[in-house]
Structure 1
């Protein structure tokens, strides 16, 4: 069995919320290299999407390993101290606690992990987002694993005909429900469209084999106020009983609207970009997604290939820019601004407190 863990955090950016500088990334990378030398990790890759640093780690310690999570925490803690030395913006922003408690859950960093038996050929896609929430993956994961107009293998490949199980999280209650597709497709859609409340946590084959997993930590619910975007990550297995790589990527060819963007308070298009272009600047956006492709080989990460670094996604990027222009022209009005219930977890209530006695 091999475990793939992707753990991310925003620990400092240059300037504002644009990009983690290379020397900060190098400092974090050094901690993981020590972990690999000590046998904690089989392999690793340190990626970036906007102001987030994303740790892609392979190992044999299973999900929620204290040893692996502790290594990631140490990397972010050391990186935070260095970010403070550099005077970076938001140094340690995503670290909501000073004390490590066995794993990073509830401490701020996002994590997506899966444990599985490695196939003879194991293609893995790692998606990194910036300036959005975990529900940003609701639409593309549904397209990948449930929509035959996007994934033709659901029609053409008998090994996909059984469909997949979707584990869906209710953010506010903290509960999950597992629904089967295609049998319960309409029930699944009735939840996934309510992106302020529900998010896909994982997708699996009917026999339990993991297909996809998403980081579902929401910083605002942890901290009780807006402290930063959630910037989720996801891991997707491809080929041989799963969607093909091209089918999985096709799900991002439409830049659907996602919550997040400036101050985590606006709807904007999710733009598929290369890692190099994951530097959101316009209104801290628009929201970005990066796709890194790996071949897992006895736990070693061969790659990555920067999969959105491809002119075939130029049309999607053009549409995203047009949608961003349209949404921005709404200014502080909905639907550009998020709904009132989502704004409850920003700093807007503090702004409104001074007006409460004015309403009579």
Structure 2
């Protein structure tokens, strides 16, 4: 049996130029420098450093398994050193996602978000990495259900005999820190019933029932619950395996022709439309948004990432397939801005803003306290 490879994304918002726009290039360069050294030490096999909006994303491949202390420490070192640069430049929200001074060897609970999957590499292993900014983990749930539960989106659920065997969906209750695994197609409607509450439930992982291992994994870290205060939206990432028993790359991306409304956006407190774009175009320039989503594609080859660069290039000098970085998505982007403008026109009223229970921070408790003695019984 072949050794199983682990693919990890670990991400953090640790400072940005001009509000919540973009990390400084020197912060990205420092992360690349550190991971180049970790690769030489044999801690990781390969890596790629990128960003979406103000979040730095570290892609890493290795054979050390999920939650490995050396790998997570490598990412933590990247964020610590980049934070020093951020603070020295007085960037906005410098070190925002660093929630502890006592790192335990795993980023879970420390602030950065992570998604990892371990599997036996197939003869051909296409990977799609989704990165979102200005939104929450459940933003992927309606998208992934369309991909994995809907044959009108994914024809493979009908014509691919392995995909037809269905998928197991791990759903997390992000409020009560519990999880449940449900199976599709048998429990499809119950899965949808649960995930309809996007404030509480989110897809964490989807596994093949044909024995192919994980199909996708999502970061479900809730920063405000970890920190006990508002520290920014969670900006989730998602790793997907494609083709041959899994949805095709086109089936993963076709659903983004829809206009998806997600929570987050300005101050983490509004509803806006997902805006599919290139990382280079992911600066949230319209009212701190709208929420951005990027999709980068690689082949995995013996534990190493292969993009559009010459064969054998290592050390992070990769050129991924930029799936949303072309004019195919121009109409979708225009629709996202149109929908977002419609939502913003509602001002400080629902459905433009989130319900009170979902607001990351709000002045309402103070207002109600001040008015406590002024409220009178109805006649």
TM-score (norm: length of structure 1)? 0.97
In the alignment, which residue of structure 2 is the partner of 1:355? 370
Taking the aligned partners of 1:71 and 1:351, their CA distance within structure 2 comes to 43
Taking the aligned partners of 2:223 and 2:375, their CA distance within structure 1 comes to 31
Taking the aligned partners of 1:133 and 1:195, their CA distance within structure 2 comes to 9
In the alignment, which residue of structure 2 is the partner of 1:295? 299
Cα displacement (A) at 1:222 = 1.1
In the alignment, which residue of structure 2 is the partner of 1:218? 222
**Aligned residues of 1:225 and 1:347 also touching (Cα < 8 A):** no
Q: Which moved more, 1:27-36 or 1:106-115?
A: 27-36
In the alignment, which residue of structure 1 is the partner of 2:199? 196
Cα displacement (A) at 1:356 = 4.9
In the alignment, which residue of structure 2 is the partner of 1:318? 334
Taking the aligned partners of 1:190 and 1:164, their CA distance within structure 2 comes to 17
TM-score (norm: length of structure 2)? 0.92
Please point out which of 265, 272, 276 is paired with 2:269: 265
In the alignment, which residue of structure 2 is the partner of 1:119? 122
SS in 2 for 1:331: coil
Instruction: Provide closer, same or farther for how the CA distance between residues 356 and 113 of structure 1 changes in structure 2, counting only shifts above 3 A.
Output: farther
Residue 328 (str. 1) matches residue 332 (str. 2): no
Q: Which moved more, 1:306-315 or 1:47-56?
A: 306-315
SS in 2 for 1:26: helix
Residue 153 (str. 1) matches residue 168 (str. 2): no
SS in 2 for 1:322: helix
Cα displacement (A) at 1:148 = 1.0
Cα displacement (A) at 1:270 = 0.8
SS in 1 for 2:135: coil
Instruction: Provide closer, same or farther for how the CA distance between residues 38 and 194 of structure 1 changes in structure 2, counting only shifts above 3 A.
Output: same
Q: How many residues align?
A: 359
Taking the aligned partners of 1:74 and 1:349, their CA distance within structure 2 comes to 39
Residues 6-56 of structure 1 deviation map (CA, whole Å, 9 limit, x = unaligned): 000001101100111211111111111111111111000001000000000
In the alignment, which residue of structure 1 is the partner of 2:188? 185
SS in 2 for 1:161: helix
Instruction: Provide closer, same or farther for how the CA distance between residues 348 and 166 of structure 1 changes in structure 2, counting only shifts above 3 A.
Output: farther
Q: Which moved more, 1:282-291 or 1:304-313?
A: 304-313
Deviation beyond 6 Å, 4+ runs, structure 1: none
Please point out which of 68, 71, 75 is paired with 2:71: 68
Instruction: Provide closer, same or farther for how the CA distance between residues 25 and 144 of structure 1 changes in structure 2, counting only shifts above 3 A.
Output: same
Taking the aligned partners of 1:254 and 1:72, their CA distance within structure 2 comes to 34
**Aligned residues of 2:5 and 2:303 also touching (Cα < 8 A):** yes
**Aligned residues of 1:6 and 1:111 also touching (Cα < 8 A):** yes
Taking the aligned partners of 1:181 and 1:51, their CA distance within structure 2 comes to 36
Q: Which moved more, 1:250-259 or 1:225-234?
A: 250-259
**Aligned residues of 1:220 and 1:346 also touching (Cα < 8 A):** no
Residue 346 (str. 1) matches residue 349 (str. 2): no
Taking the aligned partners of 1:272 and 1:259, their CA distance within structure 2 comes to 16
**Aligned residues of 2:212 and 2:245 also touching (Cα < 8 A):** no
Taking the aligned partners of 1:44 and 1:352, their CA distance within structure 2 comes to 49
Taking the aligned partners of 2:233 and 2:204, their CA distance within structure 1 comes to 18
